[in-house]
């Protein structure tokens, strides 16, 4: 559609004109169009541009700037544009620099002179900024909905895992056993903060900038409050320079998406490890794994790896756009057109990644025996032994040293920890019961802790929080 070699139909001379043709003697150079066009990526904003244009044209009629007949003929042309976009019959011209130009050009073809009034009191600066805000309001909620879908899978798998436990790690070294449910919900809570962040960002996205004009408002009796209410925005810009000259809400949305991507990358890395022969904690369903073109025995966790890998590119979307914004003088600068590709890319990749990881986790099989035997090393109960001594009046530092010495002896081949504990004058047979498989995890009883009773309480709170996150994402 931006192929500048494509011939223009003779009967569409309007299409060959730029929006600024009156001031210019010559037309735009091919290289200018090739370098500056945004239609190739801002086409997806068409529903938002149509919606913004409908509100604007109604505002023009309310202000008495156009007649009701003119308004209706523009509205019906916009309906035709929407129908053509949906059916794929909308014809783009090489001179359509962006989606806004294309739609206004088509409206003018359809509505004649009335179409020529659509852009009254409006600039593409407030128009495109409005479109992206409308788009963000819709798409960020879609992301929130996808996040809650993943959280539901984590919750279901947590519930179904019962009292299954696995090693908990710090420094990726086995530390203390934790319930599998506890581990899965840890990711669930982090994702909940992502939903909260998106919700908070939307307060700053949900501001109408239509009516700011190119940068300074208008001499016409337009009311930005009217179009803001028409478009369902929560608030209206206070300063026209700021309205068209700021993109911090986009940087913020990009950060929110980047944080989701980073959370997904951490889940991905874990599943890469869990599905190795070395860990063997989980097996992927065939539908969510890939094979090797050469090695017949392979089953690869590509979704998990790309959840990890794509986070890098999404971080690039954020940092690249931050660099674009830096040092820009008020108000609109064409540099801002560069907001769209990183935003669209981050949104697409995070949405796809959420869907893929959700399916992967929902369909995977846990090898609970592998998990539990990995967690059942005797030394995993070392902290329980030290705390057993603490309850009996031994200062923690001393208890730590006593148990540490026993661990050193057992690791050096001086007998099982259980036997050493049984024989120890300050510990003995009662304390030795703590070393038995499966006991340690039951002793994590504090609020938010990793044991069965604490996790049962946590599940109740997570379920309630998830209902709130899901209701909000679904617009309930
Ligand atoms: N495609 C442009 C953008 O996304 C529209 C605004 C162009 N405005 C201008 N004065 N050239 O930013």
The CATH number that applies at residue 182 is 1.20.200.10
Distance 65 CA to ligand 1 centre (A): 25
Instruction: Give per-10-residue mean pLDDT for the chain (476 aa).
Output: 40 59 85 96 98 98 98 98 98 96 98 97 98 98 98 98 97 96 98 98 98 97 98 98 98 99 98 98 97 87 98 98 98 98 98 98 98 92 95 97 97 96 96 94 95 97 98 96
Domain end among 94, 120, 146: 120
Q: How far apart are CA 384 and CA 380, in angstroms?
A: 8
Q: What is the pLDDT of residue 229?
A: 98
Q: What atom of ligand 1 comes closest to residue 340's alpha carbon?
A: 4
Q: What is the pTM of this model?
A: 0.93
Tokens of 250: 């986009």
Q: Does 447 map to a domain?
A: no
**Residue 68 belongs to what domain range?**
23-120
Q: Are residues 80 and 174 in the same domain?
A: no
pLDDT at residue 455, as a whole number = 98
Domain boundary among 100, 120, 140: 120
Any atom of ligand 1 within 6 Å of the Cβ of 125: yes
Write the residue with the smallest CA distance to atom 2 of ligand 1: 337
- Cα(36) to centroid(ligand 1), Å: 9
Residues 296 and 346 in one domain: yes
Residues 366 and 390 in one domain: no
Same domain, 147 and 287: yes
Asked whether residue 18 is domain-assigned, the answer is no
* pLDDT given for residue 3 in this prediction: 43
Selection from 208, 235, 223 nearest residue 62 by Cα: 223
Which uninterrupted H or E stretch holds 387? helix 382-391
Is 110 in the same domain as 79? yes
Give the residue numbers marked as catalytic.
171, 292
Last residue of a domain, one of 96, 120, 144: 120
Residue 132 burial class via C-beta count within 10 angstroms: exposed 0-12, middle 13-18, buried 19 and up = buried
Q: Under a CB-based contact definition with an 8 Å cutoff, are residues 58 and 230 in contact?
A: yes
β-pairing, 165-170 vs 207-208, is unpaired
User: 39-44 long-range CB contacts below 8 Å, 24 or more apart?
Assistant: 39/1, 39/2, 39/92, 39/96, 39/97, 39/98, 39/99, 39/101, 39/102, 40/1, 40/2, 41/340, 41/341, 41/344, 42/98, 42/99, 42/100, 42/128, 42/340, 43/99, 44/135, 44/344
The pLDDT score that the predictor gives to residue 24 is: 86
| Number of structural domains found in the chain | 3
The ligand 1 atom nearest the CA atom of 336: 12
Q: Assess whether 188 and 283 both reside in one domain.
A: yes
pLDDT of residue 16: 57
pLDDT tens profile 215-259: 999 999 999 999 999 999 999 999 999 999 999 999 999 999 999
């Amino acid at each position: 559609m931006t192929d500048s070699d494509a011939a223009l139909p003779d009967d569409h001379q309007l299409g060959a004109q730029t929006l600024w043709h009156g001031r210019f003697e010559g037309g735009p150079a091919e290289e200018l169009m090739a370098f500056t066009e945004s239609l190739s990526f801002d086409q997806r904003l068409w529903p938002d541009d149509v919606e913004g244009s409908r509100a604007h044209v109604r505002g023009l009629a309310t202000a008495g700037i156009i007649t009701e007949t003119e308004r209706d003929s523009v509205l019906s042309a916009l309906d035709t544009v929407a129908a053509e976009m949906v059916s794929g019959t909308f014809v783009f011209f090489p001179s359509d620099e962006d989606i806004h130009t294309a739609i206004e050009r088509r409206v003018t073809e359809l509505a004649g002179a009335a179409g020529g009034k659509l852009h009254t009191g409006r600039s593409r600066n407030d128009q495109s900024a409005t479109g992206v805000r409308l788009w963000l309001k819709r798409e960020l909620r879609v992301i929130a909905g996808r996040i809650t879908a993943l959280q539901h899978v984590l919750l279901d798998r947590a519930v179904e895992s019962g009292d299954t436990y696995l090693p908990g790690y710090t420094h990726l070294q086995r530390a203390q056993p934790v319930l599998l449910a506890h581990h899965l919900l840890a990711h669930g809570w982090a994702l909940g903060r992502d939903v909260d962040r998106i919700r908070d960002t939307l307060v700053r996205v949900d501001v109408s900038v239509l009516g700011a004009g190119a940068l300074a408002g208008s001499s016409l009796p337009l009311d930005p409050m009217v179009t803001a209410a028409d478009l369902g925005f929560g608030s209206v810009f206070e300063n026209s320079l700021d309205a068209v000259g700021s993109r911090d809400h986009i940087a913020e949305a990009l950060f929110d998406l980047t944080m989701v991507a980073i959370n997904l990358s951490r889940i991905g890395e874990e599943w890469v490890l869990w599905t190795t022969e070395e860990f063997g904690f989980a097996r992927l369903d065939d539908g969510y794994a890939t094979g090797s073109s050469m090695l017949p025995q392979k089953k690869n966790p590509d979704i998990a790896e790309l959840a990890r890998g794509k986070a890098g590119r999404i971080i690039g979307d954020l940092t690249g756009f931050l660099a674009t914004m830096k040092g820009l003088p008020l108000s609109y600068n064409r540099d801002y057109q560069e907001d769209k590709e990183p935003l669209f890319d981050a949104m697409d990749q995070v949405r796809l990644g959420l869907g893929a990881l959700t399916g992967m986790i929902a369909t995977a099989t846990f090898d609970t025996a592998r998990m539990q035997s990995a967690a059942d090393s005797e030394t995993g109960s070392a902290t329980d032994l030290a705390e057993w001594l603490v309850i009996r009046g031994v200062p923690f530092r001393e208890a730590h040293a006593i148990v540490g010495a026993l661990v050193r002896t057992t690791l050096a081949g001086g007998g099982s920890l259980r036997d050493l504990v049984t024989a120890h004058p300050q510990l003995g047979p009662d304390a030795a019961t703590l070393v038995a498989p499966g006991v340690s995890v039951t002793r994590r009883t504090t609020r938010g802790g990793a044991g069965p009773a604490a996790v049962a309480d946590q599940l109740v709170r997570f379920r309630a929080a998830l209902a709130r996150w899901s209701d909000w994402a679904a617009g309930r």
